[in-house]
Homo-oligomer: A and B are copies of this chain.
Amino acid sequence: MNKSLLASNTVGWAGGRKPNASKPRLSGILLSAQTTLLVLLLSFNAYAEPRATGDLGLIIEREDGAALIVNTTEHKQLAKIAGLGDLSHASVVFSRDQRYAYVFGRDGGLSKIDLLLDKLEKRIVQAGNSIGGAISQDGKLVAVSNYQPGGVKVFAADTLALVADIPTDYAPGQRSKVVGLVDAPGQKFVFSLFDAGEIWTLDMQNPHQPALEKFKNIGKQPYDALISPDGRYYIAGLFGESGLALLDLWNTAAGVQRILPHFDKNDDKWPVYKMPHLEGWAMAGDWLFAPAIGKHEVWVINKRDWTLHKTIPVLGQPVFVMVRPDARQVWVNFALPNNNHLQLIDVKNLTVTNTLTPGKAALHMEFTPRGEQVWVALRDDNQVRVYDTATLREIARLPAQHPNGIFFSARAHKIGF
Contact = CB atoms under 8 A, between A and B. Distances in A.
A193 to B, nearest CB: 25
A250 B53 contact: no
Interface stretch (A169-177, A208-216, A238-246, A405-413): A405-413
Interface in A382-415: 390, 409-410, 412-415
Given A33-B29, A40-B28, A372-B138, A97 B116 contact: no
Interface residues of A, number: 71
Nearest to A100: B52
A327 interface: yes
A54 B54 contact: yes
Given A43-B43, A55-B97, A326 B370 contact: no
Interface string A1-45: 000000000000000001001101100110101101101110110
A287 to B, nearest CB: 12
A201 B410 CA distance: 28
A348 interface: yes
Contact of A372 (B46, B137, B250, B410): B137
A415 B326 contact: yes
A322 to B, nearest CB: 14
A98 interface: yes
A44 B43 contact: yes
Contact of A52 (B21, B44, B116): B116
Nearest to A27: B37
A271 interface: no
A52 B50 contact: no
Nearest to A348: B250
B73 A47 contact: no
A328 B370 CA distance: 23
Interface of A: 18, 21-22, 24-25, 28-29, 31, 33-34, 36-37, 39-41, 43-44, 46-48, 50-55, 71-73, 94-99, 115-117, 137-139, 185-187, 205, 230-232, 250-251, 284-286, 304, 325-328, 348, 368-372, 390, 409-410, 412-415
24 contacts: A24-B40, A25-B44, A28-B37, A29-B34, A29-B36, A36-B36, A36-B40, A39-B40, A46-B47, A53-B53, A53-B54, A54-B94, A54-B96, A54-B97, A54-B98, A54-B409, A54-B412, A96-B369, A137-B370, A138-B370, A187-B372, A230-B284, A232-B326, A232-B327
Closest 10 pairs (CB-CB, A-B): A54-B98, A369-B413, A52-B99, A52-B97, A43-B43, A230-B327, A55-B97, A28-B37, A185-B326, A50-B116
Given A25-B41, A185-B371, A205-B390, 8 more contacts: A39-B40, A54-B96, A73-B96, A96-B369, A185-B372, A187-B372, A232-B328, A369-B414
